[in-house]
Amino acid sequence: MILMFIGPSSSGKDTFFKPILEEFSLKPIILSTTRPMREGETDGLTYHFISMDEMNRLEKEKKLVERRDYHTVNGLWSYATCAENINLEENYLVVNTWAAYQKYVEFYGPEMLTPIYFSMDDGLRLERALLREKMQANPNYAEVCRRFLKDSEDFTEDCIEKYNPYVIDNNGTYEETRAQLFDVISLVLQREKNVARSLQKKNPKC
């Protein structure tokens, strides 16, 4: 099972990623990217930071579940998921986009994916994004603005209607959002266990 956190930038996905991983003993899917490493990030933990040549090689060898290219103010940045890092007998958590979600569904099937969408007021989200960028050694406010405007195109109500995710309201306190996530993920994982038990009863081992 792959649980996918989806939402616009600075909507809270990264804030809850590590706590939820630990609380439910999930495995992270670490994406690969060609963008520069930011202050406080760690190669192999935050992302696998690779060259564009390496990204293109993996795609040519059909080792990518999905790939997204972004034309930023600093040039072309790519993000991707490598299939070699995923064993579907385990439960995973990943942060990604609607476009990537659709690719995962095509690759693994809809029954293996659970989308969880983070909803947040745009004004609060922009405020958080600017505060986070201010902490960088070399703040790039132009890129923050580009992402914010692009998010309005990529994360629409139409997507929510189309993909029917669990929606998390992240306009309240940390504790309120965590409680919503705990209830949703507990439900999803319990449902998966029930399905597994049902299959075992139908197909008992000799």
- Tell me the pLDDT tens digit for each residue of 33-54: 999 998 888 888 889 999 999 9
Q: Of 49, 65, 85, which one is at a domain's C-terminal end? A: 85
Average of per-residue pLDDT across 15-21: 94
In a domain, 99, yes or no: yes
pLDDT for 21 equals 95
105-134 confidence digits (pLDDT tens): 999 999 999 999 999 999 999 998 899 889
In a domain, 75, yes or no: yes
Claim to verify: residue 53 and residue 143 sit in the same structural domain: no
The answer on pLDDT for 8 being more than 50 is: yes
In a domain, 149, yes or no: yes
Claim to verify: residue 37 and residue 63 sit in the same structural domain: yes
CA terminus-to-terminus distance, the chain: 26
Return d(Cα 181, Cα 116) in angstroms, integer. Answer: 9
Return d(Cα 52, Cα 67) in angstroms, integer. Answer: 12
- Are the C-beta atoms of residues 59 and 126 closer than 8 Å to each other? no
The answer on pLDDT for 147 being more than 90 is: no
pTM of the prediction?
Answer: 0.80
Domain around 55:
30-85
In a domain, 10, yes or no: yes
